[in-house]
Amino acid sequence: MRNQLVNIIKSEFKIWSYYSHINRELATRNIKNMPFLRWPDHSPCIEGNLFMLSLFGDGLSMQIKGGTLRTYAYNISHLIRFCYKNRINITDLTDNWFTLFISGLQVNKDGLGIRIRSNNQILKIGRACIKFLLFIGDFHSLKNFIGKDNYNSILLKEIRIVVGRDRKNNPIIKYYWHHEAFPNPDTKKKRHPIADIAVVGIKSSIRSNKDSKLVKRNSVLLQSYFQTGARRSEVLWLKVKDVMDASKLLDQGIQFPTLRLITLKRQDLVPERFVPVPRTLIVNLIDYIGTTRKRIIKNCGIKIDHDFVFVSHTSGQPLDPDTLSTYMIMWAKQAGITEPAFLHLIRHLFITETLIRLIIQHELNNKDEFRKTLVNNENFKLQLQEWTGHTRLSSLDIYIDLAFADLAGKTKTLNNVAAGASIEVVKDNIDIIISKCIKNTMTKAEALSFKKIVEAFSLDIGYPISSDVDSC
């Protein structure tokens, strides 16, 4: 788009990082997917791109279409456009100019007179712009440009909030910058886990597709979200090697094989986690990889396999996150679902059920006991972080409430909860088998695949059965 101020560098582009005295050469870093900022006249925005490089140096993600850096780029592009339109240098901004900028974000409306941005969106843009302006002030050594002291051109207020407590019960304090022009946050809406009726409807829509290959891919894809609790892009970053590594654990008789996931929204040096999953999911993934995916890669003429598990059936390339969101909307609409049906709500469901499992495992009676265990038991904390991919465990509060509400008046055991995940995978496969039997399209290969699923299920629930799969 011509009016877009942000472009993503799609080529294998490298920049220098440092000079290696050992190798006597410049070390480089790949910046593919880095956002590139322009002014509206298409000239490069030097300060904006230097800011991107500084964020890149801080370890912010560029993994999915630019990742967190892309979000920052789009947020500060509003300020870049504002400065260009008003013919003012970024370094000449004052408190009045910044107030006018924020006010302009609030009054923008669409053709129906509805505000384009929520207050929370404006706050995200405003805070990103403050971070950008602080960088500019530091880069140009402008001591009176922006800050909390009265002599600054742009006046900020430092806000201090308690986000949790450490093991010694000391408050964990977070600081952030605020400006008087910022609107109040929107009323916080509680998002509950995806409703059962929405799940049933979406699965029904998937099975109704006449293309059996798409039915298999989409069913296994949806199962992967339910059984891992991964974020939208994390499942799509799953590699064939990850599944094969998990399958080796099946051969070793491991009760809960773990699946490696890339963890997004992390700035540390361990951007991965290992999530325990039912054997049935691993068997389903292996079946999809060895049949449907293998044919798609071959038919699309892809000579060097990119190794991503979930692929487009038209191009053979990795499935795009935005495409998947479109699918979810389409499936829900097709099923007549009016309940919210976002992929992230599946993650809500997974985290709630994970907490239920831990509550039962550690025999915790109420929310206070749970939080106390979270503070005092390091293994408990690490296990929770590993399974959910959360860095700030204070963000789990809403799930803790939901978990205890779900357990109220019920008797559940750890085996019940663990078996429940495997049962869901088997139910999905049974529904597909029934659909194929009705249409008389069942093949021997599919029958053999289902037999393997049943065997995996029997191990998941602790009642192993033996059968000769070749006898079908």
Residues 280 and 131 in one domain: no
pLDDT band at 351 (very low <50, low <70, confident <90, very high): confident
Q: What is the mean pLDDT of the chain?
A: 82
In the three-class reduction of DSSP (H, G, I as helix; E, B as strand; rest coil), residue 177 is classed as: strand
Tokens representing residue 19 in the block: 């000079």
Specify if 283 maps to a domain.
Answer: yes
Residues 90 and 217 in one domain: no
CA atoms within 13 A of residue 186's CA, in its CB half-sphere: 12
Kindly state the DSSP code that residue 253 receives in the 8-state scheme. Answer: T
Residues 370 and 443 in one domain: yes
Specify if 167 maps to a domain.
Answer: no
Specify if 186 maps to a domain.
Answer: no
Q: How is the chain split among helix, strand and coil, in percent rounded to 5?
A: 55, 10, 35
> Which tens digits make up the pLDDT trace of 142-185?
999 999 999 999 999 999 887 766 666 777 788 889 999 999 98
Long-range contacts of range 107-114, CB-CB < 8 Å, 24 or more positions apart?
none
Average pLDDT over residues 217-238: 92
Specify if 154 maps to a domain.
Answer: no
Distance CA 210, CA 208 (A): 6
pTM: 0.71
Tokens representing residue 244 in the block: 């094969």
Answer for the pair 218, 209: CB distance below 8 angstroms, yes or no.
Answer: yes
Average pLDDT over residues 246-269: 79
Question: CA-based angle 428:430:432, to the nearest 5?
Answer: 70
pLDDT of the residue at 472: 40
Specify if 161 maps to a domain.
Answer: no
Residues 233 and 318 in one domain: yes
Residue 128 has pLDDT above 90, yes or no: yes
Most confident of 214-228, 350-364, 386-400, 415-429: 214-228
* Among candidate residues 346, 340, 325, 370, the one with its CA nearest the CA of residue 421: 346
pLDDT band at 461 (very low <50, low <70, confident <90, very high): low
Specify if 155 maps to a domain.
Answer: no
Residue 221 has pLDDT above 50, yes or no: yes
Residues 260 and 385 in one domain: yes
* Beta pairing partners, 109: 115
CATH number of the domain where residue 395 is located: 1.10.443.10
Q: Which amino acid is at 449?
A: S
Provide the greatest CA pair distance for the chain.
84
Q: 166 versus 81: which is more confidently predicted?
A: 81
Helix pair angle (67-85, 95-107), 10° resolution: 110
Place of tokens 């974000």: 105
DSSP β-ladder status, 171-178 and 157-165 = antiparallel
Answer for the pair 206, 215: CB distance below 8 angstroms, yes or no.
Answer: yes
* Beta pairing partners, 175: 160
Average pLDDT over residues 226-253: 90
Tokens representing residue 363 in the block: 């025999």
Specify if 349 maps to a domain.
Answer: yes
Residues 279 and 411 in one domain: yes
Distance CA 462, CA 451 (A): 17
Count CB neighbours of 293 within 10 A: 24
Distance CA 91, CA 87 (A): 12
pLDDT of the residue at 314: 92
Residues 75 and 202 in one domain: no
Domain extent, residue 11, equals 6-144
In the three-class reduction of DSSP (H, G, I as helix; E, B as strand; rest coil), residue 341 is classed as: coil
Residues 253 and 334 in one domain: yes
DSSP β-ladder status, 6-8 and 35-37 = antiparallel
Residues 226 and 309 in one domain: yes
Residues 235 and 137 in one domain: no
Tokens representing residue 472 in the block: 């079908």
Specify if 126 maps to a domain.
Answer: yes
Which among 114, 129, 144 is the end of a domain?
144
Instruction: Report the number of distinct structural domains present in the chain.
Output: 2
pLDDT of the residue at 74: 94
DSSP E strands, 12-134: 14-20, 25-30, 35-37
Residues 89 and 206 in one domain: no
In the three-class reduction of DSSP (H, G, I as helix; E, B as strand; rest coil), residue 26 is classed as: strand
Residues 276 and 419 in one domain: yes
Distance CA 89, CA 82 (A): 10
pLDDT band at 420 (very low <50, low <70, confident <90, very high): low
In the three-class reduction of DSSP (H, G, I as helix; E, B as strand; rest coil), residue 52 is classed as: helix
